[in-house]
């Protein structure tokens, strides 16, 4: 009897991690954990019922990750188009504002001409509330879509004042008051955005990833195959007017007061970071979440061409644990970091930890 053949749906994407894998279900915008052995079988292409355990096959069929077909029918199912592009030279801009730098219409028009539609403003001091209102009103009758505002907490700022500004400026997606005495999210009635009280300072090079921040969609997946999903087509202007990839970066590529922004972003040196995708970065390359993750940590370049992060992620892919979960240990405890050669996993130690955490699953 001839064996049955099965074809994977192209929008169901297996991603192999160090200890386990996931299937990203792009259309349904979710993901499912699977063992690495199943990921390897799916990634190999056509499945045949004699080379895969029945329980795995039943699981794939039940969740509609694969379908039965004949050899002749395979030509009717072309591979997924993994290209990515976006009709803008810059997609999002972060601007620090204090007494030295205040965005004006000329600067905004340059950014809008580059296609930028998403803006983040970080007020470094407890500036007068009128400044916030003036900044947001600059966007009237523009094609900007969202505005995020980070504002240093002050007892003088009341929710009612912020709600009124948000009501008058519907592009504001949220206002975050950092260094607040407590953490709280307020969703005003009949207003698009949220007011967020955040007890910590604004810090862009800390790991920003958590289980709730993972995103499964076609745009992010295809972008992550080619680019760094946090820094790609991002522009930052610090409070001195310096144009950078991120605000705390020492290197400046130009200055808002003296340089044309379009000329600055054309520099190859400015765009180098855009192409540092997860598949080029230590540890990230072995993480099953790498194509659904938007991580603000800045990757550092080694002399041999690979990249690493100086700060650890909140997720350890070697033991499949998030920080603060029971059994979590850091990535650095699972091996050895070498600045030049990269992270070297201690495979025996990791295997022992996983058997303790996961039992027989660790040997699959």
Arithmetic mean of pLDDT, 334-358: 87
262 contacts 270 by C-beta, under 8 angstroms: no
Q: Under 8 Å CB-to-CB from 332, ≥6 apart: which residues?
A: 312
Give the pLDDT confidence score for residue 100 in this predicted structure.
60
CATH 3.90.930 maps onto the chain at 5-76
The residues with which 223 forms a beta bridge, in sequence order, are none
Report pTM. 0.90
Three-class SS state of 72: helix
CATH 3.30.750 maps onto the chain at 92-202+232-272
> Does the domain spanning 92-202+232-272 belong to CATH 2.40.10?
no
Give the DSSP letter string of 213-246.
G----HHHHHHHHHS-TTTTTEEEE-TT-BEESS
Say what angle helices 54-62 and 36-43 make with each other, to 10 degrees: 70
Give the pLDDT confidence score for residue 204 in this predicted structure.
63
Question: Structurally, what CATH architecture does the domain formed by 5-76 represent?
Answer: Alpha-Beta Complex (3.90)
pLDDT digits (tens, 9 = 90+) for 222-236: 999 999 999 999 999
Does residue 1 surpass a pLDDT of 50?
Answer: no
Give the pLDDT confidence score for residue 49 in this predicted structure.
58
Give the pLDDT confidence score for residue 32 in this predicted structure.
97
Arithmetic mean of pLDDT, 281-300: 94
């Amino acid at each position: 009897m001839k064996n049955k053949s099965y074809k994977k749906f192209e929008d169901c994407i297996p991603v192999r991690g160090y200890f386990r894998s996931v299937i990203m279900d792009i259309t349904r915008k979710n993901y499912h954990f699977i063992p690495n052995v199943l990921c390897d079988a799916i990634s190999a292409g056509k499945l045949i019922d004699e080379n895969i355990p029945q329980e795995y096959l039943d699981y794939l069929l039940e969740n509609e990750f694969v379908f039965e077909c004949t050899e002749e029918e395979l030509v009717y199912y072309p591979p997924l188009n993994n290209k990515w592009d976006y009709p803008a030279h810059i997609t999002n801009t972060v601007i620090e504002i204090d007494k030295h730098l205040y965005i004006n219409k000329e600067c905004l028009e340059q950014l809008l001409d580059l296609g930028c539609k998403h803006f983040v403003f970080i007020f470094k001091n407890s500036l007068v509330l009128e400044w916030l209102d003036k900044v947001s009103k600059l966007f009237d009758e523009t094609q900007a879509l969202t505005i995020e505002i980070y504002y240093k907490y002050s007892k003088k700022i009341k929710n009612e004042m912020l709600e009124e500004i948000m009501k008058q400026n519907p592009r504001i997606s949220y206002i975050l008051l950092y260094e607040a005495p407590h953490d709280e999210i307020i969703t005003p009635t009949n207003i698009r955005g949220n007011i967020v009280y955040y007890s910590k300072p604004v810090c862009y090079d800390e790991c920003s990833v958590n289980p709730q921040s993972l995103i499964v969609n076609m745009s992010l997946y295809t972008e992550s195959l080619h680019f760094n999903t946090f820094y790609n087509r991002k522009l930052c202007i610090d409070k001195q007017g310096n144009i950078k990839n991120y605000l705390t970066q020492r290197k400046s590529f130009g200055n808002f007061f003296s340089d044309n922004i379009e000329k600055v972003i054309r520099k190859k040196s400015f765009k180098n970071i855009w192409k540092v995708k997860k598949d080029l970065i230590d540890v990230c390359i072995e993480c099953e979440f790498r194509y659904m993750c938007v991580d603000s940590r800045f990757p550092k370049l080694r002399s041999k061409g690979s990249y690493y992060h100086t700060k650890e992620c909140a997720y350890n892919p070697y033991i499949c644990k998030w920080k603060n979960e029971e059994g979590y240990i850091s990535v650095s405890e699972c091996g050895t970091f070498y600045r030049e050669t990269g992270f070297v996993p201690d495979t025996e130690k990791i295997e022992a930890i996983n058997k303790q955490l996961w039992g027989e699953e660790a040997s699959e």
